[in-house]
Amino acid sequence: MPTIAVTVVYALPDRATEIALELPAGATVADAIARSRIAERHPGAALEHAPTGIFGKRVGRGEALADGDRVELYRPLQADPEAARRRRASARGAR
């Protein structure tokens, strides 16, 4: 059976966990996450609910993978990007 090589990645502010896998052709994002066992390395991160992507493009867990794909698990945003932009603009205006 043909296989594909993929990487599963979860990045934290100070480090990243990268796990290289070989999966059967037709495997999905969910298959890669399960096979990587990445949730065991980050037990408090609630990765079962984390948004996922491939090379920075958000995709669902049912998305089929291609050889060489990089599966990414995203952390929740620490700040609303729009609110942060408003604070920066306000601070510049106060100068």
User: How many angstroms separate the CA atoms of 40 and 21, rounded?
Assistant: 16
- pLDDT band of residue 79 (cuts 50, 70, 90) is low
pLDDT at 36: 96
Q: How does pLDDT run across 9-51, given as a tens digit for each residue?
A: 999 888 999 999 999 999 999 999 999 999 999 988 888 889 9
- 12-32 b/e (C-beta count within 10 Å ≥ 16 → b): eeeeeeebebebeeebbbbbb
Which amino acid is located at 79 in the chain? A
- Residue 19: what residue type? I
- Whether the pLDDT of residue 92 is over 70: the answer is yes
Whether domain 3-94 has CATH 3.40.50.1980: no
For residue 45, count other CB atoms closer than 10 A to its CB.
Answer: 17
| pLDDT one-digit tens code per residue, 45-72 | 888 889 999 999 999 999 999 999 999 9
Q: Report if pTM > 0.85.
A: no
How far is Cα 31 from Cα 88, in angstroms, rounded to an integer?
41
The residues near 63 (Cβ < 8 Å, ≥ 6 apart) are 28, 29, 52, 54
